[in-house]
Structure 1
Amino acid sequence: MADLLHLVDKPEGWTSHDAVARLRTLLGESRMGHAGTLDPFASGLLLIGEGRATGFLGCLGLLPKRYLATARLGVATDTQDVTGTVTATSSRMPSLPEVEAALARFRGAIRQRPPLYSAVKVGGTRLYKAARRGVDLEREDRPVHVYELRLVGDALPEITLDVTVSRGTYVRTLAHDLGETLGCGAHLTALRRVESGPFQVDAALSCDRSSGHEEGAYRERALEPDRALSFLPRVRLSDDEAARLRHGRAPVLEADRVEEPDRCWPLPPGESGWPLALVDQAGSVLALARPWRDQVSGAAVALQRVLVGA
């Protein structure tokens, strides 16, 4: 069993689960999962973990994501994207200066209401399931962060945006809300994820059967945990500490032992800090942990996920 992170270029029309199922069949590995769901109509970078690499997918999901998004002004849909039913049209077409001015309102810390057709749960029910029954559940606005939002294509009535956002941000809702601000309505016609933190779609392999990629190509391109988690702050353990950790005993650590990464990626709203990667003397990641203060032993860590066995 391999413990690897695969960078996959998901085609349009595939669910994220379809992409995982394709690799599961191709690689003969049942223990697989993905970080950061992509809607079926979207394409681009999907991070898929194999073996013990599934244990740190939640950490990867915290990374900011960059997209190229194309929106059609003047038409709104119930799903806020091209797959939905048209709910409103407008003959009004804003000028490019108006579009640029409106974009400024969506940069930085904003609040966003999840779309009706989304997997967000309200009272234990998925919003999209309620919407299909004609039920409009009450949705609360949620804090998200738009780190970058640039207009890179202006073939009106379509515009293309280069946008980098925090976890939990719906780019189709961003397009919808932009249309509301402009007074003309809007929906997404195309969405492509090009980056997730330090990972880029240019380094990914397509999982489309027509690509012809075989098992060897995916394994050759995949990242081992120490490379995949190199963006995290880390603590290098002694041989004795590493041996105890393999048996589930968390080490006691001093703050000055933390090695910071070259670049510190922003965290989504509500997160207090990145996990620590606990590594052995060779730099291999053994576990993910959170700092905490033990009243008896002093500074310590709480283990989140041990990635190695005894």
Structure 2
Amino acid sequence: MDGIINILKPPNMTSQDVVSYVKKILNVKKAGHTGTLDPGAAGVLPVCIGKATRISEYLMNDKKTYRAEMSIGFKSNTLDKYGDIEKVPYSPEDKDKIYDAFNNFRGKIEQIPPMFSAVKVKGKKLYELARSGITIDRAPRSIFIYSIDIINVEGNNILFDVTCSKGTYIRTLCSDIGKLLSSDAIMTFLLRCRTGPFTLDNSVTLFELEQYVHENNVEAVLFPVESALPDCSRVYIDDALFCKVKNGVGFHINEALRYEKRKREDIILIFNRCNKFAAVGAIDAEGHVKVKKVFLR
């Protein structure tokens, strides 16, 4: 079995717990997710099965959209409601000041990863150090906020949507906004609504997946490997060229039957004459295609 299943992760499961559960109910050996979702969060978690695990590195760069809630006037060692919470001073601002604060977090910004995160420093995950009571300095990282929109403000609680680059910590974003409002804030709710082409609408719960397994109809929710990369340019080749490609031999783009440019040209998808996905490649400025990973032989 090869493909991607878009799981609607429930709260109180780690992303790896979900992968292990999927492997068990599908009885497959190879599976992996495309980007960690906090244990307390819910939302879309694409799980790559079989050969699809080989494209997970290309999916981790996808934009991600979240709906989140933050509560100003509190701080936590985990930056969310699951940590040790303290009340901190907060003088309620008028809504214009809150909107102004949010507007400061658009575009390219710097963000310091939280101690309770899977970021590795000298081979150690930060959360392992944090659980031992150790706090260390962390270098800020550049992230990109494509959009951030307030949905509702009710007292000190703010519900908002945000679309961001990989590596963005929404918990940290909440805390940073709170600090800009001369206080602090914790994240009280997080739902991942979208990552790349995977949305809430095309996701399935673990219970629903079990039903598809019992009905012997997993293919109904199994996305083809290539569907996870809809923005990648595509190349179609004849049988003679496919014989080279399946052995890892590159070619010049002029040798292809057709070259279909899309938004992304750093990675190209190679299809055989029958339009079957065959390989992932990269094209240089001179038009030479290097075969990176072969999926069809």
TM-score by length of 1: 0.89
Given that 2:196 and 2:228 are in contact with CA atoms closer than 8 Å, whether structure 1 keeps it comes out as: no
Q: How does 1:151-300 map to 2 (within 5 A)?
A: 151-207=150-206, 209=207, 213-215=211-213, 216-254=216-254, 258-261=259-262, 264=263, 274-292=266-284, 299-300=287-288
Write the mapping of 1:34-113 to structure 2, written as runs, cut at 5 A: 34-113=33-112
Q: Do 2:236 and 2:272's aligned partners in 1 also have CA atoms closer than 8 Å?
A: yes
Once the two structures are TM-superposed, the CA of residue 26 in structure 1 deviates from its matched residue by 1.0
Matched residue type, 1:242: F
Tell me, what secondary structure is at the counterpart of 1:98?
helix
Cα offset, 1:280, TM superposition: 1.5
Cα 1:147/1:213, change in 2 over 3 Å:
same
Q: Identity of counterpart residues, as a percentage? A: 29
> Which secondary structure state, in structure 2, belongs to the residue aligned with residue 233 of structure 1?
strand
User: How far is the alpha carbon of 1:254 from its aligned partner?
Assistant: 4.4
Q: Which amino acid aligns with 2:10?
A: P
The one-letter code sitting in structure 2 at the alignment partner of 1:243 is: C
Following the alignment from structure 2 to structure 1, what is the Cα–Cα distance between the partners of residues 176 and 9?
A: 26
Question: Using the alignment, how far apart are the partners of 1:255 and 1:172 within structure 2?
Answer: 49
Q: 1:185-207, CA deviations, whole angstroms, 9 ceiling, x for partnerless residues?
A: 10101100011122211111011
How far does residue 99 in structure 1 lie from its aligned partner after superposition?
A: 1.0
Deviates more, 1:65-74 or 1:283-292: 283-292
Letter in 2 for 1:289: G
Matching residue of 2:295: 307
> How far apart, in 2, do the equivalents of 1:109 and 1:87 lie?
30
Q: CA deviation at 1:111?
A: 0.9
CA contact (8 A) 1:234 1:258 kept: yes
* CA displacement at 1:210 relative to structure 2: 8.3
User: Cα deviation per residue 1:63-97 (whole Å; 9 max; x = unaligned)?
Assistant: 10000001111111111111111245224222211
Q: Is the 8 A contact 2:43 2:192 kept in 1?
A: yes
CA distance in 2, matches of 1:197, 1:211: 21
**Cα separation, partners in 2 of 1:218 and 1:154, compared to 1, 3 Å:** farther
Structure 1 residue identity aligned to 2:281: A
Corresponding residue number in structure 2 for 1:117? 116
Structure 1 equivalent of residue 3 of structure 2: 4
- The 3-state SS of whatever aligns with 1:205 is coil
**CA 1:254–1:88 in 2, change beyond 3 Å: closer, same or farther?**
farther
Deviation at 1:217, TM superposition (A): 5.0
- Displacement of 1:304: 2.6
Q: Report the alpha carbon displacement of residue 44 of structure 1 after superposing the two structures with TM.
A: 0.4
1:258 & 1:172 partners in 2: Cα distance? 42
> Does residue 9 of structure 2 align to residue 14 of structure 1?
no
Q: CA deviation at 1:156?
A: 2.0
3-state SS, counterpart of residue 106 of structure 1: coil
Q: Give deviations 1:160-207, integer Å, cap 9, x for gaps.
A: 111000011111111110011011210101100011122211111011
For the 8 Å contact 2:25–2:210, the answer to whether it is kept is: no
Counterpart-to-counterpart distance in 2, 1:60 and 1:233: 15
Contact 1:234/1:277 (<8 A) preserved: yes
**How far off its partner does 1:112 sit?**
0.7
Residue 260 (structure 1) shift = 2.3
Q: CA RMSD in A?
A: 2.0
SS where residue 53 of structure 2 aligns? helix
1:217 & 1:74 partners in 2: Cα distance? 49
Distance 1:200 1:145, change over 3 A: same
CA offset at residue 255 of structure 1?
A: 11
Provide the rounded CA distance (Å) in 2 between the counterparts of 1:167 and 1:218. Answer: 29
- Aligned partner letter, 1:239: D
Residue pair 1:78, 1:87 contacting (<8 A) in 2 also? no
Structure 1 alignment gaps of length 5 or more: 266-272
Whole-Å separation in 1 of the counterparts to 2:255 and 2:62: 24
1:206-251 Cα deviation digits (max 9, x unpaired): 11x4886341454311111233333311111222111211122122
Partner of 1:67, secondary structure, is: strand
2:145 aligned counterpart, secondary structure: strand
In 2, distance between residues paired with 1:217 and 1:160?
A: 38
Q: Which stretches of structure 1, 4 residues or longer, exceed 6 Å deviation after superposition?
A: none
- Once the 2 structures are TM-superposed, how far is the Cα of residue 147 of structure 1 from its aligned partner? 0.3
Which amino acid letter does the alignment assign opposite residue 307 of structure 1?
F
- Which has the larger displacement, 124-133 or 186-195? 124-133
Aligned-pair CA distance for 1:286:
1.4
